[in-house]
Amino acid sequence: MGIMSTVYCGITEDMWHFLACRFSIGLANGGAISTVTLVMELLLPKQRIALRAFFNWGVARFIACIVYGIIAMPLVFIVLFIIPESPTYLHNKGKIDLMIRSEKKIAQISGVPFIPKENSPIIEKETICSVLSNRDLIKKLSVLWIMFFCSSFCSYGMDLYSNEISGNLFINQLFFAITIWASKTILPVLDNKFDWFTRRFLHQSSQGIVIICFAVLAILVSCHYNGILILAINVIGIAFIEYTWDACYLSGIELMPTNVRSSALGSCSMMARCAAILAPMLPFVNTLWPGASYALIAIVGSFNLTVSYLYLSESKNVILDNVHLKKEDEKEDVTTSFIKDERQS
């Protein structure tokens, strides 16, 4: 539905048809959450950040609708006939035979021999209601909601405000997208080489740099400075906002139990969309003070950093099949043992 609507958006000249298609595309985008979950469950822990870094939507937004739709069509057949179902999902559903068949197909596609492994026992099924009634999981989900909301507000707000830099929104966006794409190449290297490069470190260091950049921009703009430094700091700040997006999606995937992973990530996406609705109002606060937009980004980022520092659980190298609901008497954070187990193995 999303692909056909995207193609039609590129050829229709009727405004109401265009709006109807955009609405259907919005509904179809919900399927992208399931796709993200599926692909992340098929990958090894060390491969997740590479997928998020290199295959991102930042550059794709500049491709014409009809061209993008045609290019995306083969993906439908790949998903239907080549990519198998997630073994993690099948295991949690108790479909062991289908899980083994899926693992064999993955091994065949990867060109490696299939090696049977012992799976952990199937636990009690978790639902979104069980997440909302579990104190530990609702805390993690609330933290993710705040992270997604703040990252979305800062990202979309600066995208819409970028025409103030040189006066051309599309050229600025193209420049930002290319810069962001080029900067992402370093993330998989850092993630694989250094144990200290955790999800918390990625989010908090990136958010800290964002705060510094936009606080400096607020001061420069209020002093009526219009030099090249404005563009340079904007590029750095927007690139690190994109890094906070990476941390948001990785943490969302790795902290939620399998049976509710897509639903939980969908709720995070909804929070991001709420922030995107508010983002167009950001440029209007400059009527109060010339640097107000940049200052507001720094303030929202400071709140995001505080919440992340105090409450975000670490999830690097987590095994998704082992993420379950904690009982009330369990004191240890669920991700800690996973990180230790992964390093020992």
Instruction: Give one DSSP letter per residue of 206-260, joined into a string.
Output: HHHHHHHHHHHHHHHHHTT--SHHHHHHHHHHHHHHHHHHHHHHHHHHHHS-GGG
Note whether 138 and 259 are same-domain residues: yes
Buried b (16+ CB within 10 A) or exposed e, 151-175: bbbbbbbbbbbbebbeeeeeebbeb
110, 141, 156 — which closes off a domain?
A: 110
- Whether 156 maps to a domain, the answer reads yes
pLDDT at 301: 94
Residue numbers of the domain that contains 240 = 128-344
Note whether 201 and 294 are same-domain residues: yes
Note whether 140 and 103 are same-domain residues: no
- List the CATH number of the domain containing 303: 1.20.1250.20
pLDDT at 206: 93
- Whether 154 maps to a domain, the answer reads yes
Q: What does the DSSP 8-state code read for residue 286? A: G
Note whether 302 and 259 are same-domain residues: yes
Note whether 331 and 279 are same-domain residues: yes
Report the alpha-carbon distance of residue 303 to residue 18 in Å, rounded.
38
Note whether 221 and 296 are same-domain residues: yes
pLDDT in tens, the chain (345 residues): 666 777 777 777 788 888 888 777 777 666 667 767 767 766 777 777 777 766 554 444 444 445 555 655 666 666 666 677 777 767 666 677 777 777 777 777 777 777 777 666 555 555 666 666 778 788 888 999 999 999 999 888 887 777 666 666 677 777 777 788 788 888 888 888 888 899 999 999 999 999 999 999 999 988 888 878 888 888 889 889 989 988 998 888 888 887 778 788 888 888 988 898 888 888 788 788 888 889 999 999 999 999 999 999 888 888 776 666 555 444 445 444 344 444 444
Instruction: Tell me whether residue 117 is exposed, middle or buried, using C-beta atoms within 10 angstroms of its C-beta: 0 to 12, 13 to 18, 19 or more.
Output: exposed
pLDDT at 64: 47
Note whether 187 and 335 are same-domain residues: yes
Neighbour count for residue 245 (Cβ, 10 Å): 23
- Whether 224 maps to a domain, the answer reads yes
Note whether 45 and 150 are same-domain residues: no
pLDDT at 284: 82
Instruction: Name the strand (E) or helix (H) holding 345.
Output: none
Note whether 219 and 285 are same-domain residues: yes
77, 110, 143 — which closes off a domain?
A: 110
Give the predicted TM-score (pTM) of the model: 0.73
Report the alpha-carbon distance of residue 154 to residue 284 in Å, rounded.
15
pLDDT at 130: 64
Note whether 94 and 40 are same-domain residues: yes
Report the alpha-carbon distance of residue 112 to residue 5 in Å, rounded.
39
Note whether 95 and 149 are same-domain residues: no
pLDDT at 77: 64
The domain tally of the chain equals: 2
- Whether 44 maps to a domain, the answer reads yes
- Whether 284 maps to a domain, the answer reads yes
